[in-house]
Structure 1
Amino acid sequence: MPCQKNTTCATAYFDKGYTPYCRVINMEKLREYAAVCTIGSVGYSAIEVLWRGFTHWTMALAGGVGFLLLYLADLRMAGRSLVEKCAAGCALLTSVEFVFGVVVNKLCRMHVWDYSRRKGNLLGQICPFYCLLWFLLCIPVMPFSSLVRERLCPSRANSQLAA
């Protein structure tokens, strides 16, 4: 199938060889997700400065990724209780913390944090105490992500309320 105008062409491998396909890049969603990542980066960096007294640039990246995942989870879990959303958010944020911890602290040896002295830690990157804090942080953050969605995408937010 030939490419349509205003699309970005790409190629992919299918079972029987190299087949071109077209994918429309949705700039509206790209802007939305970039804004959400920026809010998460700034917000988490501010929380980290309030909690620890300092932050690291890698935590801004983790905050952006984490808030984007919470934003998408809140969207996907529309109609679920806040407790369910916070439990999912806790799992997501703990996973982000673990992945960033392994990459930043173990592979890149930046030594941004070390939970090895905390009970129940996994490789010194995550621990039950901070997992609980992630759950508590999700209590205000999940409703905040809905508010962000209403501001960024009023038409989509209204259509979700009607559904």
Structure 2
Amino acid sequence: MPCQKNTTCAAAYFDKGYTPYCRVIYMEKLREYAAVCTIGSVGYSAIEVLWRGFTHWTMALAGGVGFLLLYLADLRMAGRSLVEKCAAGCALLTSVEFVFGVVVNKLCRMHVWDYSRRKGNLLGQICPFYCLLWFLLCIPVMPFSSLVRERLCPSRANSQLAA
């Protein structure tokens, strides 16, 4: 069963009728996404050390997830303006921050951050000030994600079917 353009190769791979071509595509994507997550983990940890003076291992995980989502959003939003991409990126990163905050700070009680003293906060995990910072951070990160894609998979760098 060959891969179809409208289906993901990962789905075909896990189906009983996978083809070797689908397995190769799946492994390429796995390597690509692992590299993107690693870049996000290291990059966000470095930014946080510069901003706060320290970081926490859970923030490396959040950075990896966040950059992967930005990477995929940048690909899906090809042809859109940088402002639109940054707005989407801001929403994605704020969502990642909220989910990680609830799990890490509320459920696991690790107390990595607390925005409860900031105006407009939601459960002390997100606030408008950091939403603005996420938007501003997306200004250089969105073009950087395109550069990463060009380096990781030059043959698919501009293809919307790459994701």
Instruction: Structure 2: state its 5+ residue gaps.
Output: none
1:7 is displaced (CA, Å) by 15
Tell me the number of residue pairs that the alignment of Structure 1 and Structure 2 aligns: 163
Distance in 2 between the 1:110 and 1:144 partners? 31
CA root-mean-square deviation: 5.5
Structure-1 separation of matches of 2:6 and 2:76: 29
Is the Cα–Cα contact under 8 Å of residues 12 and 21 in structure 1 kept in the other structure? no
Name structure 1 gaps, 5 residues minimum: none
Q: How does 1:58-69 map to 2 (within 5 A)?
A: 58-69=58-69
Give distance in 2, aligned partners of 1:8 and 1:161.
10
Indicate the percent of aligned positions where both proteins have the same amino acid: 99
Which has the higher mean CA deviation after the structures are superposed, 3-12 or 35-44? Answer: 3-12
The CA distance in 1 between the partners of 2:105 and 2:26, in whole Å, is: 35
Q: Pick the structure with more helix per residue.
A: 2
The Cα of 1:145 is off from its aligned counterpart by 0.1
Match of 2:33 in 1: 33
Superposed displacement of residue 81, structure 1: 0.1
- Kindly state the Cα deviation for residue 157 of structure 1 after the two structures are TM-superposed: 1.2
1:41-99 CA distance string (max 9 Å, x none): 00000000000000000000000000000000000000000000000000000000000
* Aligned-partner Cα distance in 1 for 2:96–2:4: 38
Seen in structure 2, the aligned counterparts of structure 1 residues 20 and 81 have a Cα distance that, compared at 3 Å, is closer
Q: Deviations over 1:125-152 (max 9, x none)?
A: 0000000000000000000000000000
Quote the residue 1:24 is aligned against. 24
Contact 2:74 2:142 (8 Å CA) reproduced: yes
What is the distance in 1 between the residues matched to 2:144 and 2:90? 15
When normalised by structure 2's length, the TM-score is: 0.84
- SS in structure 2 opposite 1:4? coil
Q: Decide whether the 8 Å contact of 1:10 with 1:20 is kept in 2.
A: no
Bigger relative contact order (CA 8 A; separation at least 6): 2
**TM-score, length basis structure 1:** 0.84
Deviation at 1:159, TM superposition (A): 4.8
